[in-house]
Amino acid sequence: MKETVDVVVIGGGAAGCFAAIQAGTHFPGARIVILERGIKPLAKVKISGGGRCNVTNSVSDPTELSANYPRGERFLRKAFYSFSSAHMIQWLNDRGIELREYPDGCLFPITNDSQTIIDCFLNELKKLKIPLHLESRVDTVQQIESGWEVSTPTRVITCKSVILTVGGQPKISGFQLLNQLDLKIVSPIPSLFTFNMPNEPIRELMGVVTENASVRIVGEKWSTSGPLLITHWGMSGPAVLKCSAFGARILEEKGYRTPISVNWTGVLKQDDVRAALVEWKSSNKKLLNTPLFQIKSRLWTYLLSKCELHEDLRWSELGNRQENKLIEVLINDLYQMEGKTTFKEEFVTAGGIDLAEIEVKTMQSKRYRGLFFAGEVMDIDGVTGGFNFQAAWTTAAIAGKSVLLNQMEEK
Ligand SMILES: Cc1cc2nc3c(=O)[nH]c(=O)nc-3n(C[C@H](O)[C@H](O)[C@H](O)COP(=O)(O)OP(=O)(O)OC[C@H]3O[C@@H](n4cnc5c(N)ncnc54)[C@H](O)[C@@H]3O)c2cc1C
């Protein structure tokens, strides 16, 4: 079957559906189709956030928001001025979707059901008369004289512009569709995973959460902070997931085997901790009974025994060497990472189309006019908290409203 339309959107996921809606809204009357290889649209939205869809985050200032992206920070900072989380929240509110904000800024539909977002998107596509063809895997995308030609096993569609939103690919071979185009691809690697520490006795404390810890890959100057959860295989929680995302390339180079330093006090330095201990040193209380820095008592007991401090020791009896050892363990406690585990709630791949290939103002390829990108296919990924969807909404909104501008200029 040979067809001609204005825009073909490849991929019916979060970015594809939103880009099509934006294109349909900005270019009324344009003929737009979505080609999705799967049997259901928006499949990842369905399972996202444990079926509740953490749709975005309340952080909306472009600088603050973009700090949550280990890859794509500078690119997105500019893009967020055009379409930020506040725009997405408004867009959903305008369509009757209320969101609930959690203390960490994560926003979920008030229904606690990702289907709410899916229904909203499908409804908008219907209103705009944009067909979404399922089981339509695109095999080739070719530039032709009149624009682009997109082929599936059963259709050949010519169009003025293409928006490519095929999502993240765990392997470089997943970018086969782009082979004909000679675009620079940053090789994909995992991001957002937890740390395996099979030989660390701390695993016996599984279930213990420290509300504010910092995690650092030994040898690196930066660290990531937040809650840290001890698991039966090692460590997890936001501080660790952020470390896995910002350290994705470093950890991959190290084969996921490296010492990890934990600061159980959060971001306190040696002198701050020493100053905090001063008032205790005249106390007759036992160290064991007075956990500091909001450290849970099971963990506190573990840390004291790691410092070889006797359980009957009182603060007033703490010697200088013992104090130094305690401070060291509190702020620079070393653990050996020996592998990673995929975080079941949300996993993403770092890597994708090199951002140097893409114009941030339009999401158009710098080399191939009429070819646009949105979502995880680009070398962009965020930490947990609704940031990955926000990158999809932002890039899709910009691609959608730019997709036929070239054609209008040419007329
Ligand atoms: C389990 C899980 C939970 C998550 N939860 C959250 C969350 O709560 N909040 C958050 O911000 N992020 C979350 N994420 C990340 C988020 O889902 C992704 O960042 C987002 O879906 C990316 O959107 P996308 O449209 O770029 O890619 P996708 O959603 O992956 O969509 C790409 C689409 O393209 C289709 N496609 C691929 N190749 C072709 C082809 N050749 N022809 C036609 N179609 C094709 C695919 O079938 C797919 O439907 C989660 C991810 C996972 C895996």
pLDDT at 408: 60
Which ligand 1 atom minimizes the distance to the CA of 389? 11
Percent of residues, the chain, with pLDDT higher than 90: 91
The finding on whether 392 has its CB within 6 A of some atom of ligand 1 is yes
Tell me the pLDDT band of 180, cut-offs 50, 70 and 90. confident
- Residue range 214-256, pLDDT digits in tens: 999 999 999 999 999 999 999 999 999 999 999 999 999 999 9
Locate CATH 3.50.50.60 in the chain: 2-189+345-410
Taking Cα atoms as reference points, which of 96, 13, 12, 107 lies closest to residue 52? 107
CA 13–ligand 1 middle distance (angstroms): 6
Distance (Å) of CA 88 to CA 17, 55, 59? 14, 9, 12
Partnered with residue 273 across adjacent β-strands are none
Q: How far apart are CA 46 and CA 137, in angstroms?
A: 20
Q: How far apart are CA 65 and CA 260, in angstroms?
A: 27
Q: How far apart are CA 79 and CA 393, in angstroms?
A: 11
- Is residue 139 scored above 50 in pLDDT? yes
The finding on whether 352 has its CB within 6 A of some atom of ligand 1 is no
Q: How far apart are CA 2 and CA 349, in angstroms?
A: 35
Tell me the pLDDT band of 1, cut-offs 50, 70 and 90. low
Q: How far apart are CA 73 and CA 347, in angstroms?
A: 19
* DSSP result, 294-326: T--HHHHHHHHHHTT--TT-BGGG--HHHHHHH
Tell me the pLDDT band of 406, cut-offs 50, 70 and 90. confident
The single-letter DSSP state of residue 171 is S
pLDDT at 121: 98
pTM for the model stands at 0.92
Phi/psi-derived region of residue 3, left when phi > 0, alpha when psi is between -120 and 50, beta in every other case: beta
| Dihedral sign (CA 200, 205, 208, 210) | negative
Two structure tokens written together for 345:
């709630």
pLDDT at 178: 84
CA 379–ligand 1 middle distance (angstroms): 14
- Residue range 87-123, pLDDT digits in tens: 999 999 999 999 999 999 999 999 999 999 999 999 9
CATH code at 2-189+345-410: 3.50.50.60
Q: How far apart are CA 54 and CA 350, in angstroms?
A: 19
Q: Are the C-beta atoms of residues 130 and 8 closer than 8 Å to each other? A: no
The finding on whether 11 has its CB within 6 A of some atom of ligand 1 is yes
The finding on whether 381 has its CB within 6 A of some atom of ligand 1 is no
- Residue range 293-347, pLDDT digits in tens: 999 999 999 999 999 999 999 999 999 999 999 999 999 999 999 999 987 666 6
Taking Cα atoms as reference points, which of 130, 127, 115, 124 lies closest to residue 42? 115
- Is residue 409 scored above 70 in pLDDT? no
pLDDT (mean) for 368-383? 96
pLDDT at 71: 96
Q: How far apart are CA 5 and CA 40, in angstroms?
A: 23
Which ligand 1 atom minimizes the distance to the CA of 388? 11
Two structure tokens written together for 25:
């809204």
pLDDT at 270: 96
Q: Are the C-beta atoms of residues 201 and 333 closer than 8 Å to each other? A: no
pLDDT at 170: 84
